[in-house]
Structure 1
Amino acid sequence: LWRLHAVLGGARVAFTAALLAVGGWLVIDQAVSIGQFVAIEIVFLTILVNLEKLISGVDSIFDILTALAKLDNTFQHEGVDISPFNPQDSQPVEGAAWLKNFSETHPPSDRRAPWRWMAFLAVTFFATLFLPWTQTVSMVGTVTMDNPMERPAALHAAENGRLSTWFVREGQVVRAGDTLMIMEEIGAEYLDPALLQNMEQSQEAKESAFTAYSQKARAVSMQLAQAREGMAPQLAAAQLKVQVDSTDWVAYHVGERVAERQKDRADSLLALGVISRQAWETQQVTWQKARAQAQSQRQKWTSSRADYRAKKIALQENLAKLESTLAAAQAESAGATEAATQARSKTNQIARRVSNRYVVAPRDGVVIELAKLAPGALVKKDEEILTVVPAYAEVVVMASCEPNDIPLLEAGQRAMVAFDGYPMLPIPGWPEHSVGMFEAKVRFVSAAATQEGGGFAVVLEPSETWPPALRAGTNSHVTLLLKDVPLWFELWRQLNGLPANRSAS
């Protein structure tokens, strides 16, 4: 034993010196940094310290081997019967005679037996180190419904009221739409039994007013469109009359000027005595008529221009009135729309409040956790009344994984799950052969940690049939299966606190 300790101490000194020499040379050569060198030295020294701790317990092993050797010397020999019926063993001897008789009847066995035992144990231990060991990641979780629509639904009171009648009991199976209980109204503004009918009539009246205002707006809009279409032709006709009167006035004005020149010529001829006075008077009358016609036509042209401007102003005023009437009709229609919408909303609210008096089952399931209320008791808004859970639904496990193990997880990985309340016999290193554990696989790994606890959510779905009596809320223990490694590698990893290997998949 002392030789073993001496060899181990010498090996440690030699290994440390070699490590310092090689590490110093690598640091000087800048092949590794000083931090990497220190880390490597710490790892190897930790391995040596753990190995020394293992060797320090060899004393007990040597004691066991010595005891085995003595037993072998005592009982394992050839050709000698040491049973209670051996007459030589039953003879009374004393002192040296007894020793002589024992040495003759119990010859020494082979001295190589202890070494055989040591070799057998060493080979067994060495072979054990190469047994396959499945690395795992442990998590805890809770069973929950896979479909969110099938999870337990707690029903709460939608409004304040008074409990009237229960129609179910705890444990009763119900169908979606079944009436579970009836509540009475306690609000003063909702006590009128004909409140809903009155609100419906009010809604119909406001909708009729909206329809009338809408029709009025459409009629005014049509009048406005027709007035705009008729305005252009009327203005065009008036404009044409102005142009005709203007042309006529120009013609009469030219005739007036011609008659005036003829009058002046007649005056000159009368003074020379070329024409008679009667001819001169005739020319004067012609000039007066031409002058009167020109002035009359000018007045007519001026009047037609005034009529055109008045017509244009009248048409524009009519359009403005129609636009104002249309805007008023549209405003009245919008007000009627708002009133009808408010009436419709109020009617729907009252109808919903009336329907809330009848608490119905949202889905098929079983009634549990009835509120401890008797008929006549007051129920407050949002107070929990009862819970409906599905009779059976597909379940999954919602587990929480530590941040250090997240790099080892991915969708599709295999896992073994144990549920509270079900007998289980786990086998470390070989979880697939454990008893009472069920196969599962990872469906989803959260990309962010949860606010509560800082873990990452992991969803596992069954890979085989899970217990049919499994219920939501059952605690579960998840063992995620990673890579298969030799036992010596797993011991070395555990001693050095290194993470597990990621699965080969």
Structure 2
Amino acid sequence: MLNLSQINKTDQKLLGRYSTIKNLANRPHYKILNRIIVTFSIFAVLFLFVPWTQNISGSGAVTTLKPNQRPQTIQSLISGRIEKWYVQEGDFVKKGDTILFISEIKEDYLDPNLVQNTKDQMDAKKMSVESYLGKVTTLSSQIQFIENEKKLKLEQARNKIRQSILKVTSDSIDLVAVKTQVKIANTQFNRAVQLNKEGLKPLTDVEEKRLKLQDVDAKIITQENKLLTSKNELINSKVEINRITAEYNEKVAKARSDQFTALSNQFDTKAQVNKLENQYVNYSIRNGMYYIKAPQNGYVNRALQSGIGENIKEGTSIVSIMPSNYDIAVETFITPIDLPLVKRGEKVRVWFDGWPTIVFSGWPDISYGTFGGKIVAVENFISDNGKFRVLIAPDEDEDKWPKQLSIGAGAQTIALLNDVPIWFELWRTLNGFPPNYYNPTTKISKEKK
């Protein structure tokens, strides 16, 4: 009611005659409530200026620091049939202990003497290589002998040429001498005829000179024939050199052809030996793959294959093993907006599922049951859950993490950033702003120095 009308308006003086109205004005709890409200308002205003530590929260699970310390599965490198198990789930195995035995199922490897037969083939091929090597050496010696014989034959033919040249020279000189004798005999005959006409020489002398001239004429024909024979022998000697060169070149070419054939066969056989050696080593290694062994010390968590006589393919997971010795760590996931604020080496508070914890995210000094950690790796590629993965290791400067932690247990993390007033944090949260960009310049500079 706006009390604009004067009708039915109650007079305040008339209400004062009632005791109840008088008591209402004198009650003290209204003053106390007002004081409480004022005090609370002052406390709320002061509380807004209390320091608050900005932080980045994340959730993850307990894991190991090194990849080789995480749970792993053991695969079979070859196909086979399960024949015998040597362990059961929960057993502790050492590195090299046999887990199970499988038998061969491929027809190419069913021969029990496959390795020995391959070795025999390899040894036979090696002997063949040695035989070809001996043949190559023999042909090399044969070529050397042919070359030596060729040199001797050529030297012999050259000597014969020199002899033929000397004989031609000698016959040429003899021919000149015979021609000189013909001239002398002809002169003597003419002189004897002239003297006979003059009566100074008897006819017998003329006949004697004519007989001598005819004898010398016969000698010159014989000597010319002898000279031509010597020249033919010289030509034959030169032709013999060409024949010897061609003959022995042909012998050398044939020997070299046989040598190259032997070398080709040797290299081909050597390639076959290398192939057989490769097969021999592969078969030997394959025989050792029938026994599936533990790669490191650990506990058999679960048998992924079971039964006897079951066939498995290569690459099939058989059992899972948890290593016995590992360095514990925590993998947590943060939102993409917080990724630039996270750096390697920063301090992080961690608490684990199942451990009594009281956490005040803005006041880490008041929190209870948290453990110190240090960021060792930040993944730069987003995960399937739309967040970035961060790996945290225990902080050596603080208390050790509980030994009872198991791999895969849940964990919560808080990365501490700048100290700001609470009013600023409320304002930032209401507006959806990210925390202040935090860069540990002092620490990084020390590490660089």
TM-score, normalised to structure 2, is 0.75
Q: Secondary structure at the match of 1:435?
A: coil
**Partner of 1:318 in structure 2?**
251
**Partner of 2:155 in structure 1?**
237
Against the structure 1 CA distance between its residues 116 and 187, is the aligned structure 2 distance closer, same or farther, given a 3 Å change threshold? closer
Range with bigger deviation, 390-399 or 237-246: 237-246
Deviation of 1:279 (Å): 6.3
Asked whether the 8 Å contact 1:238–1:308 carries over to 2, the reply is no
Do residues 498 (structure 1) and 433 (structure 2) align?
A: yes
Asked whether the 8 Å contact 2:147–2:248 carries over to 1, the reply is no
Of 78, 90, 112, 1:193 maps to: 112
Matches within 5 A, 1:15-34: none
Against the structure 1 CA distance between its residues 274 and 444, is the aligned structure 2 distance closer, same or farther, given a 3 Å change threshold? farther
Tell me the amino acid that sits aligned with residue 341 of structure 2.
L
Tell me the amino acid that sits aligned with residue 155 of structure 2.
A
RMSD of aligned alpha carbons: 3.9
Against the structure 1 CA distance between its residues 469 and 294, is the aligned structure 2 distance closer, same or farther, given a 3 Å change threshold? farther
Matches within 5 A, 1:320-359: 320-359=253-292
Of 361, 380, 402, 1:467 maps to: 402
Against the structure 1 CA distance between its residues 97 and 184, is the aligned structure 2 distance closer, same or farther, given a 3 Å change threshold? closer
**Partner of 1:179 in structure 2?**
98
Tell me the amino acid that sits aligned with residue 502 of structure 1.
Y
**Partner of 2:63 in structure 1?**
144
Q: Secondary structure at the match of 1:369?
A: strand
Do residues 476 (structure 1) and 395 (structure 2) align?
A: no
Taking the aligned partners of 1:228 and 1:435, their CA distance within structure 2 comes to 101
**Partner of 2:370 in structure 1?**
437
Tell me the amino acid that sits aligned with residue 238 of structure 2.
R
* Structure 1 residues 367-403: Cα deviation after superposition (integer angstroms, max 9, x where no partner): 1212462334444444332122211311333444443
Against the structure 1 CA distance between its residues 284 and 187, is the aligned structure 2 distance closer, same or farther, given a 3 Å change threshold? same
Of 327, 335, 338, 1:394 maps to: 327
* Structure 1 residues 245-296: Cα deviation after superposition (integer angstroms, max 9, x where no partner): 5743663475267347636644763564289557646754664565344323
* Structure 1 residues 161-195: Cα deviation after superposition (integer angstroms, max 9, x where no partner): 33322221211111111122222334455444334
Taking the aligned partners of 2:102 and 2:54, their CA distance within structure 1 comes to 59
Aligned length: 406
Taking the aligned partners of 1:395 and 1:100, their CA distance within structure 2 comes to 71
Taking the aligned partners of 2:382 and 2:68, their CA distance within structure 1 comes to 23
Q: Secondary structure at the match of 2:419?
A: strand
Do residues 130 (structure 1) and 49 (structure 2) align?
A: yes
Gaps of 5+ in 1: 1-93
* Structure 1 residues 78-137: Cα deviation after superposition (integer angstroms, max 9, x where no partner): xxxxxxxxxxxxxxxx9749968996xx8x79989957963x545534433333322222
Asked whether the 8 Å contact 1:163–1:377 carries over to 2, the reply is yes
Taking the aligned partners of 1:250 and 1:456, their CA distance within structure 2 comes to 109
Do residues 262 (structure 1) and 180 (structure 2) align?
A: yes
Q: Secondary structure at the match of 2:262?
A: helix
Of 283, 288, 296, 1:363 maps to: 296
Asked whether the 8 Å contact 1:441–1:460 carries over to 2, the reply is yes
Taking the aligned partners of 1:274 and 1:430, their CA distance within structure 2 comes to 164
Q: Secondary structure at the match of 1:503?
A: coil
Deviation of 1:155 (Å): 1.8
In percent, how many aligned pairs have the same letter?
26
Taking the aligned partners of 1:498 and 1:342, their CA distance within structure 2 comes to 68
**Partner of 2:390 in structure 1?**
458
Asked whether the 8 Å contact 2:150–2:244 carries over to 1, the reply is no
Asked whether the 8 Å contact 1:402–1:456 carries over to 2, the reply is yes
Gaps of 5+ in 2: 1-16, 194-208, 442-449
Tell me the amino acid that sits aligned with residue 461 of structure 1.
A
Against the structure 1 CA distance between its residues 98 and 313, is the aligned structure 2 distance closer, same or farther, given a 3 Å change threshold? closer
Against the structure 1 CA distance between its residues 274 and 398, is the aligned structure 2 distance closer, same or farther, given a 3 Å change threshold? farther
**Partner of 1:29 in structure 2?**
none
Tell me the amino acid that sits aligned with residue 299 of structure 1.
N
Taking the aligned partners of 2:299 and 2:77, their CA distance within structure 1 comes to 21
Asked whether the 8 Å contact 2:75–2:316 carries over to 1, the reply is yes
Taking the aligned partners of 2:105 and 2:30, their CA distance within structure 1 comes to 102
Asked whether the 8 Å contact 1:173–1:366 carries over to 2, the reply is yes
Matches within 5 A, 1:48-447: 96=19, 114=34, 118=38, 120-121=39-40, 123-224=42-143, 226=144, 230=148, 233-234=151-152, 237=155, 240-241=158-159, 244-245=162-163, 247-248=165-166, 251-252=169-170, 255=173, 258-259=176-177, 262=180, 265-266=183-184, 269-270=187-188, 272-273=190-191, 276-277=209-210, 280=213, 284=217, 287-288=220-221, 290-371=223-304, 373-431=306-364, 433-446=366-379
Taking the aligned partners of 1:384 and 1:427, their CA distance within structure 2 comes to 45
Tell me the amino acid that sits aligned with residue 421 of structure 2.
P
Deviation of 1:205 (Å): 2.4
Against the structure 1 CA distance between its residues 380 and 449, is the aligned structure 2 distance closer, same or farther, given a 3 Å change threshold? closer
Q: Secondary structure at the match of 2:303?
A: coil
Asked whether the 8 Å contact 1:396–1:461 carries over to 2, the reply is yes
Against the structure 1 CA distance between its residues 136 and 112, is the aligned structure 2 distance closer, same or farther, given a 3 Å change threshold? closer
TM-score, normalised to structure 1, is 0.68
Against the structure 1 CA distance between its residues 130 and 264, is the aligned structure 2 distance closer, same or farther, given a 3 Å change threshold? farther
Against the structure 1 CA distance between its residues 379 and 504, is the aligned structure 2 distance closer, same or farther, given a 3 Å change threshold? closer
Range with bigger deviation, 172-181 or 134-143: 134-143
Taking the aligned partners of 1:137 and 1:204, their CA distance within structure 2 comes to 70
Taking the aligned partners of 2:134 and 2:336, their CA distance within structure 1 comes to 69
* Structure 1 residues 146-165: Cα deviation after superposition (integer angstroms, max 9, x where no partner): 33333323123334433322
Taking the aligned partners of 1:462 and 1:475, their CA distance within structure 2 comes to 16
